Amino acid sequence: MEFNETTLTWDPESGLLGYHGRRSTMFWLDPSLSQLLAPLAEELGVPLFRLTVAYHASLGAKDDHRLSIADGGGASFAEVLETWGHSVEVCGWGRFELEWFDEETGRASVRVHNPWELAVQASAKERWGCPFLFGKLVGLYSRVMGANGWADETVGVREDGTPVVDFLLYRSDRTIQDDLEALRREHDEEARQPLREKLQELWESKERQRAVLASLGEVVLTLDLEGQLTGLHVPPDQAPFHPSPKAAVGRSLEEALPWNVAVALRGAFEHVLRGEAPAPVSYEIEHEEGCRGYSAKLTALHDATGKVAGVTVLARDLTERLRTEHALEAQLAVIARQQEAIRALSTPVLQVWEGVVALPIIGVVDDRRAADITAALLETVSRTQARCAILDVTGVDSIDARTADHFTRIRRAVTLLGAECVVCGIRPAVAQAMVETSAGGSPDVGAAARNFSTMQAALQAVIGQRREWAAAQAQPRPARR
């Protein structure tokens, strides 16, 4: 079939359509082409979509020009446009009209009535003009004129409602390819900008982390799920006790760290991977510069999805703290020994004569001291087989109910060992307090017990009693029958 001197062929057997001897096809402008092109325009953006379509349309200008001449057209722009326009009008591209052409300046105005591209955009959300026709006309113009060309495109509507597009063609240093490459660079730059901003944020975050780590003064290790080091931060003052990050990263705990440290961390590492919360791990690292003690805490490291991706180890240097604790423990031990010595000095049990001991008490008598006094006095009475113990309370200024009760208990304990316990030096305030607390009514402390005002009186009484003990021992024992 020939239409307007253009040959279209149709082979019913093969289903092939031919145009100028080339396989061709037909589409409905709407919806087929509309649904094909509109999403591309929306995805790329109108400027990039227009230049991309125009550039690739212009690449066919060489064949378009050759076919126009082969079909009997002349070599001028007007002749080429007329021949080419008639051939593509048959395909529904629109009707081409050369409104005017200035050979001297090379400027031309071409109007296309009912251009196919405008029909495609009838239902589109965003219009993109006629980049395909733009590229074809600029390509033909540049090839015929032998110089780069450009076109100003204007879309309009005639009085009868027919859509038209006008192209003002002229020589120009501007090319579709240059504009397309510039726009692509601009788009690439815009696309890279969020990436650069994200990289900048990551870099700043990393620097902040480094600053925080440096200020903490703690050793930080990160491990993957296999227990290999993925990161290591060591404060400068602790560098001699640890491997360098370069030597440690990528190696396992056992390869990178001392054996005792690796064993301690490996156990806690396995606990963390099982979802358990291990107790802090303590270990020591020896070096020619000395020995350092550490306490390490292990926590799970999660990825963006919340899945465990590794383990973080935060090891704190406790060397100075341990030294301080050891020094404090030593000081406490010294203090304890001193207190023990003071308690011994505060309960001096004196052996006055054979069978007589004395214990002067000075100061406050609390539960602890009462126990010490009782223990010391009973031990001496038992060891010396004393028959009398003098409890001198001259140095006790005042007592309360608990102190009075202590004296009662001490006296009873001595009595249970078969010895007598006499009290001397009770001051008026102490006597009054003992009466008020009812301790004075006890047979161990009150009138039934022997009490003396001074140590001298007590000693004199004991001297007389010792004579009685001696006389009793001197009497002959009755003969056994």
Are 125 and 170 a contacting pair, CB within 8 Å? no
Closest CA relative to residue 313, chosen from 367, 272, 342, 371: 272
pLDDT at residue 446 is higher than 50: no
Structure tokens given for 339 = 């207190």
C-alpha torsion sign, points 442, 447, 451, 452 = positive
pLDDT value of position 315: 87
Check residues 275 and 5 and name the one with the higher pLDDT.
275
Measured CA to CA, the distance from residue 118 to residue 134 in angstroms comes to 13
pLDDT value of position 340: 66
Structure tokens given for 6 = 């253009």
pLDDT at residue 409 is higher than 70: yes
Parse the chain into domains and list their residue ranges.
2-174, 217-322, 347-474
pLDDT value of position 63: 82
Measured CA to CA, the distance from residue 60 to residue 272 in angstroms comes to 66
CATH of domain 217-322: 3.30.450.20
Residue 139: pLDDT band with limits 50, 70, 90:
very high
Out of 70-74, 156-160, 354-358, pick the least confident: 70-74
> Strand 229-233 vs strand 219-223: parallel, antiparallel, or unpaired?
antiparallel
Structure tokens given for 77 = 């722009």
285 has which bridge partners? 292
User: What mean pLDDT is predicted for residues 250-273?
Assistant: 90
Closest CA relative to residue 466, chosen from 429, 424, 420, 425: 420
| Fold matches, 2-174 and 217-322 | no
The verdict on whether omega for the bond into residue 360 sits within 30 degrees of 0, i.e. cis, is no
Are 324 and 430 a contacting pair, CB within 8 Å? no
Count CB neighbours of 292 within 10 A.
Answer: 20
| Span 180-205, pLDDT tens digits | 999 999 988 888 888 888 888 887 77
pLDDT value of position 14: 80
pLDDT value of position 448: 52
Measured CA to CA, the distance from residue 40 to residue 43 in angstroms comes to 5
| Span 214-226, pLDDT tens digits | 666 788 888 999 9
| Span 371-401, pLDDT tens digits | 888 888 898 888 888 888 888 888 877 777 7
pLDDT at residue 65 is higher than 50: yes
229 has which bridge partners? 223
User: What mean pLDDT is predicted for residues 14-30?
Assistant: 76
**Residue 90 phi, psi dihedral angles, 5° rounding:** -60, -30
| Span 467-476, pLDDT tens digits | 766 665 556 6
Amino acid at site 363: G
pLDDT value of position 324: 79
Residue 156: pLDDT band with limits 50, 70, 90:
very high
How many percent of the chain have pLDDT more than 70?
Answer: 87
Mean pLDDT of the chain: 83
CATH tag for 347-474 (out of 3.40.50.980, 3.40.50.2300, 1.10.10.10, 3.30.750.24): 3.30.750.24
Out of 95-99, 388-392, 427-431, pick the least confident: 427-431
pTM: 0.49
| Span 334-355, pLDDT tens digits | 777 776 666 655 567 778 888 8
> Strand 388-395 vs strand 420-424: parallel, antiparallel, or unpaired?
parallel
CATH of domain 2-174: 3.30.1380.20
